[in-house]
Chain A
């Protein structure tokens, strides 16, 4: 049974068709939290976020409070919000920017106040044409309301917020590549160390990069306190989280549910959530955290959806995406298409990712479309090993960034979980599903 009684922390306005308007926002408690935050000391606001134990909702799951505290020694120069949602099958930030842009803006201002940052950027995916309109309008409204600009709401704090469009590159969702894009350059990730944004970020200055959903949680946290947030969920995985359910389910969509208290089975089958697999079919595999994540089999349907729980089983909640493959889905085709995605999106800086992704894609193409060989499976695993030595989780990498070490996830999972499918493809000279 899914636990569905947790508060709607970030999706409370979804019920309204005009959820994105200033009028609706103000009627439903908009800017109460910011005004409250401005009466607190900045470090007290940060302390609430710490107390909430808010894990980043982008992909890496790094605790937001700890990210902010990394900068307590040196003043932060910039706050950058990562709205470049491009991880395949992830669409929950899209929901937030189109349906509740004011909440995002208020969250960003609260964060900026806590960090005492006066210039913030929201980097939105360029393909979100409507999202850009709505977020920019929300920013305009905030300026008109006095929530942005010089000495906001009569306080001593001034802040400007700039909405910045991306232009179509998955890799710009990686925080250092995002910063490169914000500097007007190609989205080439930087090598860490030394280029941790907290130390050397935008224009070389200390920068905090946080995800859209992470920011959207802040108004509720300020209003209700970090402890109330931490009271939800279990252990390190506190609060609620948006999950984007897609694939072979009856009701794909964005669902806000309490962390850990719900399992994958709850998400997929509960009539209020996924509503079960189309046609009542069996689950063949689950991709838990975006295509960078290793797959789970149906044996893990009852795994609680929490950061550590999923991590211990060798994958991640990642971007919050959950894709369901059923018995009619071709795992070889799925793994091929995912590899093709990585190959197209590789930035091209480093050899293993640039050349490796292309090679793996070519070999997977042969397996799926004809010309695959039995030895291709071992070849593929070895190529994956040359990109992510040891094929462990969390992965090691020979590459500059984690896109590289994400490439093996689907291929390794598909081959090790479904070797017979691959053999069948070889014997059949292509996909037997067609």
Chain B
């Protein structure tokens, strides 16, 4: 019995088929598991382990290396506030403090109503909009405490569900089909190409 629901399982299988080796699909598969469960559950990790041909300990250890994977449940909205250099210079630390108060949760934890998890992030690569904020990895351009407060209120009321979907960075990413170039076709083409190039090199002499 797969832990993945049919739609996620289908996407998982398509993903694996894109890579020469199954293990390469590890990162996107973990994103899918997180998309389904809201975080990386033990069952999700085991499923990914079996799909990528390794052990749960290995998958969990790999997931723990990366910041985007949550090994414990998180809120519906993961709010990331950057305090790295450009945001620091734009008052990022104070902004984070404000966010913590507005969301009523400590940095690195989840609000008691389970709606928000607040994270202090590293550079989000949006530095001309400093201080930078992402919610569920969507940029929300809100650079003042006031606009931040409005954002939070909107989120609470579900007004931003279109702009801020749930977790899972791949939630709206869909590829239109698998690999198209057949193995043998590639092998033949490369052989022809190398031969032709060698010949051109010869003629150039």
Please give the residue numbers on chain A whose beta carbons come within 8 Å of chain B beta carbons, in ascending order: 41-43, 75, 85-91, 93-94, 116, 118-119, 125-130, 132-133, 136, 139-140, 143-144, 148-151, 156-160, 162-170, 181-187, 203, 244-248, 252-254, 287, 291, 321, 323, 325, 329, 333-334, 337-338, 341, 344-345, 347
CB-CB under 8 A from A246, the residues of chain B are 85-86, 89, 127-128, 130
- Residues in chain B near residue A94, CB distance under 8 A: 125-126
Q: Which residues of B contact A144 (CB under 8 A)?
A: 176
* Distance A116 CA – B170 CA, assembled complex (angstroms): 30
Question: Complex formed: what's the CA distance from A128 to B83 in Å?
Answer: 18
Query: Does B128 contact A90, Cβ atoms closer than 8 Å?
Result: no
| Alpha-carbon distance between A184 and B139 when the two chains are bound, in angstroms | 27
**Chain B interface residue count: which class?**
35 or more
Binding site for A on B (CB under 8 A): 18-21, 23-28, 30-31, 52, 61-63, 65-69, 80, 83-86, 88-89, 122-128, 130, 134, 136-139, 169-177, 179-182, 185-186, 189-190, 192-194, 196-197, 200
Q: Across chains A and B, which 5 residue pairs bring their CB atoms closest together, nearest first? A: A184-B26, A168-B67, A167-B66, A158-B181, A149-B180
Contact B85 A140 (CB under 8 A): no
**In the docked arrangement, what's the CA distance between A32 and B138, Å?**
33
Residues of chain A within 8 A (CB-CB) of B189 are 118, 156-158
12 inter-chain pairs at a CB distance below 8 angstroms, sorted by A residue, are A127-B134, A136-B174, A140-B175, A143-B177, A150-B182, A158-B180, A162-B19, A164-B24, A167-B27, A185-B62, A252-B128, A252-B130
Contact between chains at A90 and B181 (CB < 8 Å): no
Complexed CA–CA distance, A87 and B20 (Å): 29
A91: chain B residues within 8 A (beta carbon): 125-128
The answer to whether A130 and B139 have CB atoms under 8 Å apart is: yes
Inside 8 A of A345's CB, which chain B residues have their CB? 122
Q: When A118-B186, A323-B85, A341-B122 are in contact, do A43 and B27 touch as well, CB less than 8 Å?
A: no
Contact B175 A163 (CB under 8 A): yes
**A86 near B125: Cβ-Cβ < 8 Å:** yes
Q: Are A150 and B190 CB-contacts (below 8 A) given A139-B175, A162-B18?
A: no
What's the A-B contact tally at a CB cutoff of 8 Å? 209
A41-B197, A75-B194, A168-B66 known; A323 vs B89 contact (CB < 8 Å): yes
Q: How far is B126's CA from A246's CA once the two chains are assembled, in angstroms?
A: 10
A61 to chain B, nearest CB (A): 19
Name A169's closest neighbour in chain B (CB-CB): B66
Neighbour of B31 across the interface among A126, A133, A247, CB < 8 A: A126
- With A143-B176, A252-B128 as known contacts, state yes or no: A337 contacts B88, CB within 8 Å: yes
Q: Within 8 Å CB of A252, what residues of B? A: 86, 127-128, 130
Q: Which residue of A has the minimal Cβ distance to B69?
A: A167
> In whole Å, how far is A267's beta carbon from the nearest beta carbon of chain B?
13
